[in-house]
């Protein structure tokens, strides 16, 4: 894989301490452009991570008193998984044999959850495989009770049913008054409405990162560190989390998707080109959480460290030739802001994808040119945002003043105001390029029978674009009725957008979030007093 992180020099081995709770979080995402095309190399997806995050707490306690000092040929760990928001409590047992190194995850009187089960089983297999000394693994896991607790920020799930039950009405104030990690999100039929932020990717990535961090395999970044990874194992750690989470997520959903959602949960906002799906197909075909050949799994995932043991993660060479995805960090230029709303009608993404791919397989030349146009327009949009960053850096106060004027001006009058012409042209090009992307996708949707940008969404988007200070607006990802987003020139425009959406005839509920370019983070540790 190609990444922009700096190489990291070796340092001493990480000291494993178990008397703490490990806190990890992974962000949700919005795919601004690249829907459908990101499934195929070398097309890009421009994905923005958001402040709404999935949180995982991992802790260990003694399940029974360990009296023997002898090295045992096998180990056994009790596991409790708790998700208070969904009323889910799962118990299972993890066991591992030393010769050969095999492990298994067995559920105990619990409904299967493939995303949780696969993330836990794969992560613990990696823990057993990466620690070279069996007695160290035994001390960490044998007769221990592993506690995993996950909870999601409210923006991942529709809060409409909760607000209606409380008689609060749908207003900006009522939406912001909902207690975080709200556990009363089921509708009258017991369903839970998703907002399309990538909840399964956030769930899997946070569990993988939490377990690997807790047992000392990796070192995740703190928010305060930013991207300054020199002298740490963070770059290699993120690579390992990404590979394990991509595998676990693919196995759980029964197919290899583009992986942009897991990549965003790991690395944050960026331009993404997918990995070759063949890199994990054999591992997927032979994997079963109830019977894992650890060395075989690590070899198939190209993360094997046993034949030439690494003393620390820096000595491990990430498999960049096999895992050939490309990720380039990206953040919206300041003072641009992301605004997102839940439409709460939902769409079947897999069904829409199959329709688009079926159309592409037999589309006549005059139709397929729109796919070719999109392959050109998506990176062009990303390039224009990068150009705006250069204007921000180059024009200083003039850029700030220009944006302040433009954010109060309707788009068709931008060229009439006192603003730097290069900045106005760049913003205008961003808007026209994104409009062209929308038109291509809407037309493809009509040809293949997939409601990528339904007419009702088009009406809402066009109304949004008329608000002064709105740069672009559209449907994220694969489109449909899930959500709508806008990028505005200044966060001050957010209130105007939210008012428009809340007053709209159909129910459009603004989400409490903003762009946040960080990927998975360590939120530190809490001592188990």
- How high is the pLDDT of residue 507? 86
pLDDT of residue 193: 86
What structural domains and CATH numbers belong to the chain? 20-328+518-527 (3.30.230.10), 345-506 (3.30.70.890)
Give the Cα separation of 335 and 385 in Å (integer).
Answer: 12
Look at residue 66 in the predicted model and tell me its pLDDT: 53
Residue 192 is predicted with a pLDDT of: 86
> Under a CB-based contact definition with an 8 Å cutoff, are residues 402 and 420 in contact?
yes
* Positive/negative CA dihedral, 263, 267, 272, 275: negative
Answer yes or no: is pLDDT of 231 > 90: no
Instruction: Check pLDDT > 60 for residue 197.
Output: yes
pLDDT value at position 62? 84
Segment 407-415 shows an average pLDDT of: 95
Supply φ then ψ for residue 146, to 5 degrees: -95, 125
Whether residue 528 contacts residue 59, with contact meaning beta carbons closer than 8 Å, is answered with yes
What would the mean pLDDT of 260-273 be, rounded to a whole number? Answer: 98
Place of tokens 């390992």: 240
Pairing, β 102-107 against β 292-293 = antiparallel
Residue-by-residue DSSP string for 156-194:
GB--HHHHHHHT--S-HHHHHHSPTT-S----TTS---B
Looking at per-residue pLDDT, the higher value among 214 and 11 belongs to 214
Mean pLDDT of 73-98: 91
pLDDT tens track for 302-354: 987 655 445 556 667 778 788 999 999 999 999 999 999 998 665 567 789 99
Record the tokens describing residue 188, joined without a space: 């009258």
Long-range pairs for 443-447 at CB < 8 Å and ≥24 separation? 443/370, 444/36, 444/356, 444/359, 444/367, 444/370, 444/371, 445/352, 445/356, 445/479, 447/359, 447/363, 447/367
Q: What is the pLDDT of residue 427?
A: 98
Please answer whether residues 333 and 392 qualify as being in contact, where contact means their C-beta atoms are separated by less than 8 angstroms: yes
Distance of CA 357 to the CA centre of its chain: 24
From 218, 278, 271, 224, select the one nearest 242 (Cα to Cα): 218
Residue 108 has phi, psi (to 5 degrees) of -120, 105
Residue scoring higher pLDDT (350 or 240)? 240
| 230: pLDDT strictly greater than 70 | no
> How does pLDDT run across 29-48, given as a tens digit for each residue?
999 999 999 999 999 999 99
- CA–CA distance, 128 with 471 (Å, rounded to integer): 50
Question: How far from the centroid of its chain's Cα atoms is residue 439's Cα?
Answer: 27
Cis peptide, bond prior to residue 42, ω within 30 of zero: yes
As a whole number of angstroms, the distance between CA 140 and CA 94 comes to 13
- The helix (H) or strand (E) run that includes residue 389 is helix 365-395
pLDDT band at 1 (very low <50, low <70, confident <90, very high): low
The predicted pLDDT at position 134 comes to 85
Mind listing the pLDDT tens digit for each residue in 453-466? 999 999 999 999 99
The answer to whether the CB of 298 falls within 8 A of the CB of 240 is: no
- In this predicted structure, what is the pLDDT of residue 226? 59
Q: When comparing pLDDT for 473 and 19, which is higher?
A: 473
Per-residue pLDDT, 111 = 78
For residue 20, the model assigns a pLDDT of 82
User: Would you state the structure tokens that stand for residue 285, as one six-digit string?
Assistant: 């075909």
Q: Which whole number is the average pLDDT over 81-100?
A: 90
Q: How far is CA 183 from CA 107, 151, 159, 186, in A?
A: 25, 9, 10, 8
Cα distances (Å, whole numbers) of residue 31 to 46, 184, 196? 6, 28, 10
| 136 confidence band (pLDDT: 50, 70, 90) | confident
Peptide bond into 5 cis (omega under 30): no
DSSP 8-state secondary structure symbol assigned to residue 67: -
Cis-peptide, bond into residue 84, ω within 30° of zero: no
3-state helix, strand, coil in the chain (%, to 5): 45, 20, 35
**DSSP bridge pairs for 61:** 145
Q: What is the mean pLDDT of residues 110-139?
A: 90
**pLDDT at res. 524:** 78
Q: What is the pLDDT of residue 104?
A: 94
What is the pLDDT averaged over residues 294-302?
A: 93
What mean pLDDT do residues 87-116 have?
88
Model pLDDT, residue 67: 52
Mean per-residue pLDDT, 482-509? 94
Whole-number Å distance between alpha carbons of 430 and 99: 59
For the entire predicted model, the pTM comes to 0.92
Q: Which residue has the tokens 């650890």?
A: 294
Q: Is the per-residue pLDDT at 2 higher than 90? A: no
State what percent of residues in the chain have pLDDT above 70: 89
Distance CA 70, CA 68 (A): 6
What value does the mean pLDDT of the chain take? 89
Integer Rg of the chain from CA: 24
What is the rounded distance in angstroms from the CA atom of residue 440 to the CA atom of residue 420?
31
Mean of the pLDDT values across residues 393-404?
Answer: 95
């Amino acid at each position: 894989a190609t990444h922009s992180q700096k190489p990291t020099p070796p340092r001493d081995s990480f000291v494993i301490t178990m008397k703490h709770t490990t806190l990890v979080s992974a962000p949700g995402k919005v795919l601004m452009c690249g829907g459908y095309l990101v499934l195929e190399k070398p097309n890009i997806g421009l994905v923005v991570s958001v402040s709404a995050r999935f949180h995982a707490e991992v802790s260990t306690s003694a399940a029974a008193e360990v009296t023997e000092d002898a090295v045992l040929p096998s180990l056994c760990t009790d596991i409790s998984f708790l998700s208070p928001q969904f009323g889910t409590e799962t118990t299972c047992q993890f066991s591992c044999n030393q010769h050969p190194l095999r492990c298994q995850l067995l559920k105990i009187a619990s409904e299967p959850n493939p995303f949780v089960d696969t993330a836990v089983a794969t992560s613990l297999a990696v823990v057993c495989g990466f620690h070279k000394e069996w007695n160290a693994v035994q001390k960490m896991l044998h007769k221990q009770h592993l506690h995993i607790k996950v909870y999601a920020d409210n923006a991942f799930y529709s809060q409409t049913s909760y607000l209606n039950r409380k008689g609060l009405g749908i207003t900006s104030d009522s939406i912001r008054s909902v207690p975080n990690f709200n556990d009363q999100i089921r509708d009258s039929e017991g369903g839970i409405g998703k907002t399309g932020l990538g909840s399964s990717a956030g769930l899997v990535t946070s569990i993988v990162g939490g377990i690997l961090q807790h047992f000392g395999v990796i070192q995740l970044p703190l928010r305060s560190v930013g991207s300054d990874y020199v002298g740490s194992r963070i770059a290699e750690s993120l690579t390992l989390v990404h590979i394990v989470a991509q595998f676990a997520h693919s196995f759980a959903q029964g197919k290899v998707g583009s992986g942009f959602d897991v990549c965003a949960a790991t690395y944050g906002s960026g331009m993404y080109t997918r990995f070759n799906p063949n890199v994990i197909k054999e591992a997927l075909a032979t994997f079963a959480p109830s019977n894992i050949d650890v060395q075989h799994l690590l070899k198939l995932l190209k993360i094997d460290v046993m034949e030439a043991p690494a003393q620390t993660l820096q000595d491990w060479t990430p498999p960049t030739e096999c895992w050939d995805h490309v990720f380039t960090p990206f953040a919206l230029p300041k003072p641009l802001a992301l605004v997102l709303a839940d439409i709460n009608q939902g769409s079947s993404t897999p069904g829409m994808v199959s329709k688009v791919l079926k159309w592409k397989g037999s589309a006549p030349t005059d139709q397929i040119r729109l796919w070719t146009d999109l392959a050109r327009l998506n990176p062009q949009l990303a390039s224009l945002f990068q150009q705006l960053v250069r204007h921000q850096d180059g024009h200083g106060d003039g850029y700030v003043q220009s944006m302040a004027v433009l954010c109060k001006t309707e788009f068709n009058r931008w060229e009439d105001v006192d603003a730097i012409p290069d900045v106005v042209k760049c913003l205008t090009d961003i808007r026209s390029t994104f409009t062209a992307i929308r038109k291509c996708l809407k037309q493809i949707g009509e040809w293949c029978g997939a409601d990528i940008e339904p007419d009702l969404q088009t009406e809402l988007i066009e109304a949004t674009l008329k608000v002064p200070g709105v740069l672009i607006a559209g449907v994220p990802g694969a489109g449909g009725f899930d959500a709508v987003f806008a990028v505005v020139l200044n966060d001050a425009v957010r209130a105007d957008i939210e008012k428009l959406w809340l007053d709209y005839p159909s129910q459009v509920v603004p989400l409490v979030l903003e762009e946040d370019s960080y990927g998975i983070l360590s939120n530190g540790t809490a001592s188990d007093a």
